[in-house]
Amino acid sequence: MQIPSLPVSDSPASVQFDFATGLFTPFVDVVERRVNDLQEMFHDQAAVGELLAGDNPVVYEIRYHPFLTTTSDMGLGVTRIYPGQIGIEYYMTKGHFHERTDQPEIYFCVRGEGFLLLETRAGDFEAVPWKAGTITHIPPLWAHRVVNTGTDLLVFVASYHLAAGHDYAPILARGFAQIVVEQEGVPQLVPNPRRR
Ligand code: PAN
Ligand code: ZN
């Protein structure tokens, strides 16, 4: 998202969110992430190959609205993660650190169920069980990823400074300490095999 090209207004501004669909209007940008955008994140590469040979489904999509004033840069993002699995691993966001080390974020789960995974570069790890109504403050320095373990959409609202920046590389390289998989019909957190 190119901040300089977006409109700047010092007046209050609102969008309208629809709880039934997880959509809001107006939005300025939408980004879709399909299996081919996410393929190296998932543990079961044979299952990734099968999905890519098929219809390369959408895993999640994000709608953005930036609120830029002459002195501030607040971003609103609403992410809708579809229900699904690649092998036994549930659909999830890529996950990232913020580039700036002083930038937190608020995540508000408005629909669905799953986990918010959080990890620092020093290796502290937390998995927060998530359901509609859970609001989590993500402190600076904690990478964040959301996993949809339900049979319905998982929708969450994010609020952050656009200037925070996104650093995806460490997560793409190593993932989080644990992955979320279906075992005996229920979601389980297990150690990430890539960390062995
Ligand atoms: C969110 C995320 C969004 C998609 O707006 O960017 O949920 O997740 P990935 O960026 O990890 O693909 C946010 O955390 N912004 O900072
Ligand atoms: Zn973030």
105 inside domain? yes
The model's pLDDT over 136-182, given as tens digits with 9 standing for 90+, comes to 999 999 999 999 999 999 999 999 999 999 999 999 999 999 999 99
2 inside domain? no
Query: Total structural domains in the chain?
Result: 1
Cβ atoms of residues 36 and 52 within 8 Å:
yes
124 inside domain? yes
What's the rounded Cα separation, in Å, for the pair 111 and 38?
23
Task: Supply the range of the domain harboring residue 102.
Answer: 17-195
Q: Tell how far the Cα of 138 is from the centroid of ligand 2, in angstroms.
A: 8
190 inside domain? yes
3 inside domain? no
pTM of the model as a whole: 0.96
Asked whether the bond before 26 is cis by omega within 30 degrees of 0, the reply is yes
What's the rounded Cα separation, in Å, for the pair 29 and 66?
9
10 inside domain? no
Ligand 1 shell residues, CB under 6 Å: 62, 77, 79, 93-96, 105, 144, 158, 160, 164, 166
75 inside domain? yes
6 inside domain? no
Arithmetic mean of pLDDT, 67-94: 97
CATH classification at residue 58: 2.60.120.10
What's the rounded Cα separation, in Å, for the pair 66 and 159?
10
Atom 13 of ligand 1, residue of closest alpha carbon: 158
Please count the other Cβ atoms lying within 10 Å of the Cβ belonging to residue 165: 12
- Predicted confidence at residue 1, as pLDDT, reads 47
